[in-house]
Structure 1
Amino acid sequence: MSPDEYCQQKAAASGSSFYYSFLFLPQEKRKAITALYAFCREVDDVVDDCTDDHVARTKLVWWRKEVQ
Structure 2
Amino acid sequence: MSEKVTGTVKWFDESKGFGFIQQESGSDVFAHYSAISNDGDGFRTLKEGQQVEFNITQGQKGPQAENIVAL
Which structure shows the higher strand fraction? 2
Which structure shows the higher helix fraction? 1
**TM above 0.5:** no
TM-score range, shorter chain: under 0.3
- Looking at both structures, which has the greater relative contact order when contacts are Cα pairs under 8 Å and sequence separation is at least 6? 2
What TM-score do you get using the length of structure 2 for normalisation? 0.20
